[in-house]
Amino acid sequence: MNQQNLAADIWNIADTLRGDFKQSEFGRVVLPFAVLRRLECVLEPTRKDVLAQYDSVKKSSIDLDLLLPATAKATFYNISQFSLATLGSTSTRANLEDYVSKFSANARQVFENFEFSKWLEKLEKSNLLYLVAQKFSTFDLHPETISNHEMGLAFEHLIRKFAESANDTAGEFFTPRDVVRLVTTLVFANDHDALTGDGVVRTIYDCAAGTGGFLSTGIEQVSEWNPNARLIPYAQELNPETYAICVADKLIQGYDTKNIKLGNTLSNDQLRNERFDYCLANPPFGVKWEKVQKEVQAEHVNEGYGGRFGPGLPRVGDGSLLFLMHLLSKRKPVNANSKGTRIGIVLSGSPLFNGGAASGESEIRRWILENDLLEAIVALPTDLFYNTGIGTYIWVLSNNKAPERKNLVQLIDATDVHSPMQKSLGSKRKRLSDEQIAEIARIQLAMPNKGNSKLFKTSDFGYRRITVERPLRLRFDVTDERVTALNTETAETYAAAFAAVRGTFASFDGLLKAAGIKKLTKAHQKSFIAAFGVKDPDAQPMKDEKSKVMADPDLREFENVPLGQDIRDYLTKEVLPHVPDAWIDESKKDERDGEVGIVGYEINFNRYFYQYQPPRPLTDIDADLKAIEAEIAGLLGEVTE
């Protein structure tokens, strides 16, 4: 039985619930039963031994958690006399609650997070509890029959189906395994010690773990490459149900689940003081973070660069870059005992370019690039994910880049690298084959600077936003209506001066001379300009009281000048040939380096790989139009006959 068949068979049990349960509730009933049966099958070979040992020590003060896991040959155990097959048709709920309560605490929390007792009560009231328990008791879910990898895929299939039936967002819970495999390959491939050494131990962390797919795939992959290496998983997950599946999965694999935390990573980092060798994540795309805005902003203000969010905060509408900064805060220092941290994170396109110079997003990109933390970005094909068809990108980051990668960023366009799905799964219509994953990894390792792989200096993504001003050019029309338009105080002060002055004046000085005004306050000047001024491109530039040319805010433009290019040379070459009277407002300076122009960073991925496609010849277009017209005429003829 493969994972798809298994998921389908488990899904069929949900049909038993129709009528008594809403479709949105199916998953909350079926998933914990599937987990329970999986745990039961894992413990079945040693069940009698565990019960016998428990009987021999239950009256003593021995800590069962120190004794029974070894007997169970697992990191958890159960001391109940019941199993799903022996619950009985009477007192089923009481017996099942006894069964669950007698798991060790690390396994029992799984069912607490599923709120299992709540659903058992509802099943009992619907007279379905015994039937559902019996159906699950027939599944053989032992790891020798269904591997951990296959079981993980089965859970993901179930979550997707339940989410679709509830019109929910399945993609928030897990990442397709082909994408996971590509991310882990890109992150692990450069750690030669872990792939070849004996007794190597590494830590792996996912800050938005879902069902734990990144952790499981990472562990499996390193084990494939080097059976003598060991990965220790750490994670945090927000959703209690997917957290429960993640914990169960790691229990079955024999890991200590105290490193798997439940809660919001952004507002409450429960692994605050931990640092990791590998960090992997696929945070939700474009999700608002307003629920944790207070806590995140407080950390940004109070802790600065000593916290996670020192560089800046993105707009509240998309928290992706918060997760990225969180992962970067988990990097190990590079020293004799550590080679630093490698990070792989899947993001949508918006973190590449959203936000102009000085925005939170730009400042985050600036900090990453100026600290040379970004190694590569891989553009993935569309339609790879279950709940969205948008383009996605894998960011690979490291605080210990290879010498040949120093101050460089590799961009890989893999948008055309994919294989068709035999059957679409939600929005997922494409997949990455093992060969295609290996090819992308080879490109990353070889670092070619041609075709679909290009190398850029980190500064290539930076620019200075300069403010380009042009003169305020006004003529002055003095009419009865405009004199009346002067504010009251100004009108009273200069009533006599404008009693006989009417007409059009080419300059402000001409107006004042005609009115016999020799000195003017700034406020009065502003009033005159508002009342009499008319924009005229042929008029003389206006000047302030210090004889400085005044800028016209309506003609103000902003230019992004690539870093390394002199802004005055840029003005001379790119701006003055078109508007000779323009100048740079040199009061607008970057807060960090004090230079003229506000520094910004963006990674416009598509621009770097854009290939011009010439338009079709007009003769070909005309021929197509004539053919279509003839076809339409023929169809109309058939209708009118």
Q: What is the pLDDT of residues 12-29, one digit of tens each?
A: 888 888 889 988 888 889
- Which pLDDT score is estimated for 163? 66
Residue 71 confidence (pLDDT): 95
Read off the pLDDT of residues 444-483 as tens digits, 9 standing for 90 and up: 999 999 999 999 999 999 999 999 999 999 999 999 999 8
pLDDT in tens, 59-84: 888 899 999 999 999 999 999 999 99
Buried b (16+ CB within 10 A) or exposed e, 395-425: bbbbbbbeeebeebbbbbbbbebbeeeeeeb
Given the DSSP bridges, would you call strands 408-413 and 503-505 parallel, antiparallel or unpaired?
Answer: unpaired
Q: State the burial class of residue 307 (Cβ atoms within 10 Å of its Cβ: 0-12, 13-18, 19+).
A: middle
- Is the per-residue pLDDT at 218 higher than 80? yes
pLDDT at 388: 78
The number of angstroms, rounded, from the C-alpha of 75 to the middle of its chain's C-alpha atoms is 33
As a whole number, mean pLDDT of residues 586-596 equals: 95
With beta carbons less than 8 A apart as the criterion, state whether 420 and 429 touch.
Answer: yes
Residue 97 clears pLDDT 80, i.e. is over it: yes
Rounded Cα distance between 346 and 404, Å, is 24
Contacts of residues 98-103 at CB distance under 8 Å and 24 or more positions apart, as own/partner, are 100/36, 102/78, 103/39, 103/76, 103/77, 103/78
pLDDT of residue 174: 66
What's the burial of 63, exposed, middle or buried (CB within 10 Å: 0-12/13-18/19+)? exposed
Residue 38 contacts residue 151 (beta carbons within 8 Å): yes
Give percent of the chain above pLDDT 70.
Answer: 97
Q: Which residues pair with 378 in a beta bridge?
A: 394, 412
**In Å, what is the CA distance from 191 to each residue of 398, 408, 510?**
11, 19, 77
Residue 606 in tokens: 């598509």
Q: How far apart are CA 227 and CA 221, in angstroms?
A: 10
pLDDT at 171: 43
SS3 448: coil
Residue ranges with strand state E in 399-438? 408-413, 419-425, 428-431
Domains 3-165 and 177-436 fall in the same CATH topology? no
The pLDDT mean for the chain works out to: 90
| pLDDT score at 26 | 86
> What is residue 492's predicted lDDT score, i.e. its pLDDT?
85
- pLDDT tens, 163-177? 666 555 444 556 888
pLDDT of res. 199? 83
Mean pLDDT confidence for 426-430:
84
What was the pLDDT predicted at 158? Answer: 80
Pairwise pLDDT comparison (165 vs 40), residue with the higher score: 40
**Tokens, residue 312:** 């800046």
Between the alpha carbon of residue 298 and those of residues 363, 528, 541, the distances in Å are 18, 48, 48
Distances (CA, A) of 493 to 261, 285, 487, 520, 525: 74, 62, 10, 11, 13
Q: Looking at residues 241-253, what average pLDDT do you find?
A: 89
Nearest alpha carbon to residue 139 among 24, 273, 41 = 41
Partners of 549 in the β-ladder: 543
Within its chain, how far is the Cα of 132 from the centroid?
A: 38
β-bridge partners, 478: 503
d(CA 311, CA 393): 22
- The CATH topology of domain 177-436 is Rossmann fold (3.40.50)
CA-nearest of 483, 586, 584, 476 to 540 is 476
Domains of the chain, by residue range, sit at: 3-165, 177-436, 471-535
What three-state secondary structure class fits 593?
A: coil
pLDDT of residue 298: 97
Least confident range of 20-29, 38-47, 54-63: 20-29
Highest mean predicted confidence (pLDDT) among 525-529, 580-584, 615-619: 580-584
Q: How confident is the model at residue 1 (pLDDT cuts 50, 70, 90)?
A: very low
CATH number of 3-165: 1.20.1260
Q: What is the mean pLDDT of residues 287-294?
A: 93
Tokens encoding 494? 């200069």
pLDDT at 307: 95
Q: Which pLDDT value is given to residue 170? A: 40
